[in-house]
Amino acid sequence: MDAMAVSISSGISSSRVRLWDAVKMALFFGAFQAFMPIIGYYIIPLLSAVFGSGVETFVNNFDHWIAFVLLAFIGGKMIIEAIKNEPEDGHTNPFALGTLIVMSIATSIDALATGIVFRGFNLDAGARTFVFLAIGITTFILSLLGVLLGKKLGKTIGAKFRRWAVLGGGIVLVGLGVKILIEHLIA
């Protein structure tokens, strides 16, 4: 759902969204959501075996902070652009490769811990593959629909209100970062 919210705000705040942009964002979000639990399931325990159990503790203690910082950075940049009312060519492009990677990491880093938790279940390889694929495919579909919905909403509000859409999108990203942080700190 975090990836879908980011997708919607990206679609709304962008002046031009091509179908490839929507597919590209959905692919990134889906792939990262599928691979982070795999990394948590296989790589983190391997690193823990080599470097000690501190690796798993580190991931569990800091994944939410990493997500918060990344989302707050991108969202804060969007908020500043909206307040300064910078021209379109100065606008953050949510579909640029670097931005996609950062947002993909930010929305999926907590899935590393999910992969670690999966080790506690006695799932065979087929069940694990199904779960990881289901996570990726579901995220892909929701993200694709989110960008397309955001594009439609962006057209509805028009260029006149795009500045406010960028501001709202930035607030959503910062809010998601805060939500992730609070969920982990309370748990």
pLDDT (0 to 100) of residue 143:
97
- Regions of the chain with pLDDT less than 50: 89-90
pLDDT (0 to 100) of residue 158:
66
pLDDT (0 to 100) of residue 70:
82
Given a contact cutoff of 8 angstroms between Cβ atoms, the answer to whether 7 and 26 are in contact is yes
Let me know the angle formed at the C-alpha of 148 by 181 and 91, rounded to the nearest 5 degrees: 65
Q: How far is CA 71 from the centre of its chain?
A: 8
pTM of the full predicted structure?
0.78
pLDDT (0 to 100) of residue 183:
85
* Helices (H), ranges, 14-96: 19-38, 44-51, 54-84
pLDDT (0 to 100) of residue 67:
80
How far, in Å, CA of 141 to CA of 147, rounded? Answer: 10
How far, in Å, CA of 55 to CA of 187, rounded? Answer: 20
pLDDT (0 to 100) of residue 126:
92
pLDDT (0 to 100) of residue 121:
83
How do residues 85-128 score in pLDDT, each as one tens digit? Answer: 755 544 668 899 999 999 999 888 888 878 877 877 888 989 98
